[in-house]
């Protein structure tokens, strides 16, 4: 009975809130997805943090610093949204460290040049926006509201990246080559961010039924490609896909086959930077233990004073 009423609420486009009854499988699905999303924001600070000390101007440094701080904020909103489902922050971080919780495959690729800051902002944040605009209408209230705020900031991030690419593309021949090289390396990993093809995506069925996802992986990927091709053309860069072609009949761009072996290898922990990213997170977490201890001791002291 509960299950029927729950599905009726979802079908009527009503949000599910933390204290509402929900099937255990819905709760678990959300914990998995929201925590993966939160971990992505936090681990995603690493490839960009790599360039803060080497930004080419004070302006570029300030903007990158602000962007990386935003990602930390996004992680915190998402951990909070996830905690409303009855799991603690400590457990979530432990699952990440034990390899039980994933984070986006894209952050396991290295950022080798300043142009990569452009590619990450333009393509990675661009892909994230397409996904997250859709998630603004997700059925779980705290996740949906978190997405609204996050999307506003992601739009600024996408423009920050596109500006870097546009500037480099109209710079010297070497600068344009750096921008093209960054696009070559980040294009395929960026479109892999949307996950496996629908036919290979075990989670999509429930996610669509419960309106956690509002569009499938393939639909979102296609939207992103349609939006991005013109942006590349405008700044004179070439998307590294010989099969990319406008299909007037479908009203979409056709595109080439992704390397799914590479995708699963990265998802399963064997990408170029998986070990490095996790080791860095563990080290920073351990080094921050005294801050968490001090905050807890202070809260306890305040409680004693209040009583």
Residues that bind ligand BYC (CB under 6 A): 32-33, 36-37, 40-41, 44, 48, 71, 102, 104-105, 120, 124-125, 128, 131, 192-196, 201-204, 207, 217, 267
Residue matched to tokens 């990993």? 189
- Classified as helix, coil or strand, 56 is coil
Give the other-Cβ count within 10 Å of 199's Cβ.
7
Question: Judged by CB, which is closer to ligand BYC: 176, or 215?
Answer: 215
Handedness of CA 229, 226, 34, 140 (dihedral sign): positive
CB-CB contact of 79 with 38 (8 Å)? yes
Question: Judged by CB, which is closer to ligand BYC: 175, or 265?
Answer: 265
Q: How far is the CB of 174 from ligand BYC (least distance, A)?
A: 26
Q: How far is the CB of 269 from ligand BYC (least distance, A)?
A: 10
Question: Judged by CB, which is closer to ligand BYC: 29, or 176?
Answer: 29
- Which residues have C-beta within 8 Å of that of residue 203, sequence separation ≥ 6? 29, 33
d(CA 1, CA 239): 52
Question: Judged by CB, which is closer to ligand BYC: 105, or 176?
Answer: 105
Question: Judged by CB, which is closer to ligand BYC: 128, or 237?
Answer: 128
d(CA 113, CA 14): 46
Question: Judged by CB, which is closer to ligand BYC: 108, or 180?
Answer: 108
Q: How far is the CB of 117 from ligand BYC (least distance, A)?
A: 10
Q: How far is the CB of 85 from ligand BYC (least distance, A)?
A: 15
Chain center to CA of 144: 15
Q: How far is the CB of 63 from ligand BYC (least distance, A)?
A: 14
**Residue 121 to residues 88, 131, 161, Cα–Cα distance (Å):** 31, 15, 4
Residue least distant from ligand BYC (Cβ)? 44
Q: In the numeric block, which tokens belong to residue 233?
A: 């053309």
Q: How far is the CB of 289 from ligand BYC (least distance, A)?
A: 24
Q: What are phi and psi of 27, to 5 degrees?
A: -60, -45
């Amino acid at each position: 009975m509960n299950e029927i009423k729950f599905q009726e609420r979802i079908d009527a486009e009503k949000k599910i809130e933390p204290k509402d009854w929900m099937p255990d499988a819905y709760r678990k699905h959300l914990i998995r997805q929201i925590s993966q999303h939160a971990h992505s924001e936090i681990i995603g600070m690493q490839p960009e943090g790599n360039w803060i000390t080497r930004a080419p101007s004070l302006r570029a440094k300030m903007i990158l610093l602000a962007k990386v701080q935003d990602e930390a904020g996004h992680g915190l909103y998402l951990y909070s949204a996830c905690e409303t489902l009855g799991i603690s922050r400590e457990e979530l971080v432990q699952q990440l460290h034990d390899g039980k919780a994933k984070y986006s495959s894209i952050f396991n690729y290295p950022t080798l040049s300043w142009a990569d800051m452009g590619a990450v902002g333009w393509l990675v944040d661009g892909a994230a926006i397409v996904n997250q605009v859709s998630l603004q209408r997700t059925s779980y209230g705290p996740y949906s509201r978190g997405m609204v705020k996050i999307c506003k900031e992601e739009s600024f991030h996408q423009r920050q990246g596109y500006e870097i690419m546009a500037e480099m593309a109209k710079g010297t021949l070497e600068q344009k080559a750096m921008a093209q090289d960054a696009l070559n390396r980040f294009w395929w990993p960026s479109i892999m961010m949307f996950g496996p093809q629908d036919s290979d995506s075990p989670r999509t069925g429930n996610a669509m039924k419960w309106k956690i996802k509002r569009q499938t992986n393939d639909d979102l990927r296609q939207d992103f490609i349609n939006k991005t091709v013109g942006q590349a053309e405008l700044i004179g860069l070439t998307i590294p896909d010989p099969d990319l072609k406008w299909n007037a009949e479908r009203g979409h761009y056709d595109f080439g086959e992704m390397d799914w072996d590479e995708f699963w290898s990265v998802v399963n922990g064997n990408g170029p930077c998986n070990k490095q990213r996790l080791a860095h997170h563990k080290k920073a977490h351990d080094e921050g233990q005294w801050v968490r201890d001090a905050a807890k001791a202070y809260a306890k002291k305040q409680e004693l004073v209040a009583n």
